[in-house]
Every structure is written in C-alpha cells, then in structure tokens.
Amino acid sequence: MEKKEKVDSSISEYFKDLLDDIELDEESEEESEEETEEETEKETSGEGDGEGDDLEEESEEEKRRREEEQRRKNKNAEEARKRREREAKEKKAQEKSEEQRNELGRQLVDFKKKYPDVDLAALDNDKKFARFIEGKLLGKKDFTQLYEEYVDFVKEIGGTAGIDIQKEHMLKERSSSGSSRSSGGYVSGGSDVYSEQDLERIAARIPFMTEKEAMQVLPKFEKSIEFYKNKK
C-alpha cells in the first residue's frame, strides 16, 4: 500500500485549475444501461417459457399484473445497481483528484525548497507560464523541471529582455528589501550569488558588455566564482 503524504492544503491550491478534469465516463454508463435492459428482457422471456401450462388457468389480467410487478422489481433493482456503480465511480474520481492535488502539492513543496524566493501566487497568475505548462502538469516532468524549462525558454527567445523573467516571480518583500541570504542550493537573482546557469550565461555576455553594464554585474559575478570555487 502506497503511503500518501499529506501536503499543506494552501500550497496545493495553486495550479489546480490546470489539472485534467476527472468526470464520470458517460459512455460506459450508457453501455451498462443497455446491458441491464437486455438482461431484463431475458428474464421476462425466460419466465414465460417455464410457466406455459399455468397460463391457461390464470386469467389474462392476473398474468399481466404479475408481469408488471416483476418488471417493476427488476427496474428497482437495476436502478439501485446503477446508483451503487455511480457512487463507486464518483468516489474513485474523487480519490484520483485528491491524489493528483496531493502530488501537485508535493511537487510545489519541492519547488519551494529549491526556489524559496519565487512567489507561487505570481507564478499562478502568469498567463504565459500557464500556457506553457498546459497539458504538461503531472506528466513526465515535475513542476520544478517545467519551471526551469520555461525560464530557459524565455531567456532563449527573449535575449537580454528575458534575463529578468525570474525577478517577475520573486516574492515582493524579498526582492525589494534586497536582504542578503547565504544559500546552499540554487541561488536566484535576488540573492548574493548567481546560479550556476546564470553565471555561465553572464560569463558569455561579459566580453560584449559596456563599462556600465560590466560594473553592475562584476562584483556579484566575482563573488559567485569564489562561492563555487569554495563549494568544490
């Protein structure tokens, strides 16, 4: 039995609208209805064969009444069965939906660990990001991979304009206060050192920079190099 990890319900509220809708399968329901109708017909016709001699004794009216009663019983039983089936399917869908939300929640928790500065609410409201991950959520790649792919994609097509894409998703209070935090894992634009990817990207750009541009990035760039040298 797989152990289900409970995640914070507030975090799993994000991106839930992008999850696939889980609906009852109407086609299968119709099929089951048809099957039950066939069965009812069989039952009624079978009864007729076994009681061939008694039919003469009973009056026509009595026969019709019994058949009617039998049909009603069958119908009630059929409806009860359908209801049970529907309830079972609904329960299954609910469980699946809950499982998906839990899985998304777990992925968002992992994402938060890696990108503490990124504001999930801002990311959730980013229509471009929503379009980018549509149909990919809970697929082969987890949320963090999708986000990193998105950031890379925007940088690739946006050139220098795309460099600040991560800043758009930064938590407001952190990006504005400029508080310095030493971090061990991934370090984004708002912190003391550049991420490894950013460092490589900036290293490729520096030879082309003007004095002003270079002076803006060099202190942090040199600090980042020291950081990764010591980390080795």
Partner 1 sequence: MANTLQAQLVGLSQRIYKEWIAKTVLVQSCDRSFEGEFNLERNEIDIPVYHDLSVHKTTLKERELKPAPLEFMKSSTIRVTVDKARYSHWGHLKISTIVERLSQEDSETRKKLVNRWAREAEDELALWVAGLPRRQEIDLSALLVDQTKNPNGLLTPDNIVLALDILKAKIIEKNMEVADFRLFTSERFRSVARDAKILTGANLDANEPFRKGFVDIINGIKIYEHECAAITKRSASTGLVTEETAIWKSTDGIQYVVPYKNTITYDIPPTEVLMGAKGYQTVEYYDFFNLYPTRLYKVKIKYAAS
Per CB under 8 A, residues contacting partner 1 are 196, 199-200, 203, 206-211, 214-215, 218, 221-222, 224-225, 228-229, 231-232
Minimum distance, C-beta of residue 153 to partner 1, in the bound complex (Å): 21
Minimum distance, C-beta of residue 204 to partner 1, in the bound complex (Å): 8
Residue with tokens 């190099």: 225
Of 26 and 211, which has the nearer Cβ to partner 1?
211
Q: How far apart are CA 32 and CA 27, in angstroms?
A: 9
Q: How far apart are CA 12 and CA 2, in angstroms?
A: 20
Half-sphere exposure at residue 125, Cβ-oriented, CA atoms within 13 angstroms: 7
Query: How far lies 124's CA from each of 14, 117, 127, in Å?
Result: 6, 14, 8
Q: How far apart are CA 119 and CA 80, in angstroms?
A: 49
What tokens were used for 118? 């990124």
Of 68 and 200, which has the nearer Cβ to partner 1?
200
Of 115 and 194, which has the nearer Cβ to partner 1?
194
Q: How far apart are CA 58 and CA 176, in angstroms?
A: 93
Burial class from Cβ neighbours inside 10 Å (0-12, 13-18, 19+) for residue 80 reads exposed
Of 45 and 210, which has the nearer Cβ to partner 1?
210
Minimum distance, C-beta of residue 209 to partner 1, in the bound complex (Å): 7
Of 121 and 215, which has the nearer Cβ to partner 1?
215
Half-sphere exposure at residue 22, Cβ-oriented, CA atoms within 13 angstroms: 15
Minimum distance, C-beta of residue 197 to partner 1, in the bound complex (Å): 10
Minimum distance, C-beta of residue 144 to partner 1, in the bound complex (Å): 20
